A and B are shown apart, each in its own frame.
Chain A
């Protein structure tokens, strides 16, 4: 839709739940989460007009919360494919899926909502009610000092033009 709410257009027509859309930085594509395959949550990429939806994740676990990197080349997301929630990255076509965080499987912590820094070098995410920041390859993970009893939903301020 337009920013004033007019011209709302439906882009997906599956009977399933399609949610968590995120535009590619160049505005040509949209990544989203869906349960249309009855395979748990999976991530799809489609053109911005809704055409050519392509499934880019396929496994028994849930893959969700996709976030496009500023250069449009990669997508960060969260998945429990290895038994508990972790942050992953992949190329925008679904190749090179890589786990970035390692949480002991016996810890049923919430680890997710990854968001790229404006310069594309780091990822902020939520780990067990705290905001953490790591490099794009998973190294250098640092938890920010607590503000509330729980801190969630990180969002980077865009870089100044």
Chain B
């Protein structure tokens, strides 16, 4: 069966759309927040989406705090 587009599935019914994973496509440009996290006894820089999902360590642990982004 040919895969239905999300728009088609939404038109057919919300449950079908959800079952097909519609709405879960990754946002190509999510809002991100960097911060310092204490891991053990010291800090590392992390960044996550603004809802807290997808946290990624950007530095090793070791005195890393107060991150700032380039414009």
Encode B47-71 as 1/0 by CB contact (under 8 A) with A.
Answer: 1101110010000000001111111
Kindly report which residue of chain A lies nearest to residue B42, judged by CB atoms: A148
- A contacts with B, residue count (CB < 8 A): 23
Give the residue of A124, A142, A148 whose beta carbon is less than 8 angstroms from that of B38: A148
- For chain A residues 128-161, which have a beta carbon within 8 Å of chain B? 129, 131, 133, 142, 144-145, 147-158, 160
Give the residue of B31, B38, B51 whose beta carbon is less than 8 angstroms from that of A157: B31
Residues of A within 8 A of B47 (CB): 157
Give the residue of B34, B46, B52, B69 whose beta carbon is less than 8 angstroms from that of A148: B46
Residue pair B50, A153 in contact (C-beta under 8 Å): no
Residue pair B35, A153 in contact (C-beta under 8 Å): yes
Kindly report which residue of chain B lies nearest to residue A124, judged by CB atoms: B33
Residue pair A144, B36 in contact (C-beta under 8 Å): no
Residue pair B33, A153 in contact (C-beta under 8 Å): no
Residue pair A149, B31 in contact (C-beta under 8 Å): no
Give the residue of B31, B36, B68 whose beta carbon is less than 8 angstroms from that of A152: B36
Encode A100-135 as 1/0 by CB contact (under 8 A) with B.
Answer: 000000000000000001100010100001010100
Residue pair A147, B43 in contact (C-beta under 8 Å): no
Residue pair B33, A147 in contact (C-beta under 8 Å): no
Cα distance A117–B50 when bound, in Å?
9
B29 within 8 A of A: yes
Residues of B within 8 A of A144 (CB): 33, 48, 51-52
Kindly report which residue of chain B lies nearest to residue A149, judged by CB atoms: B38
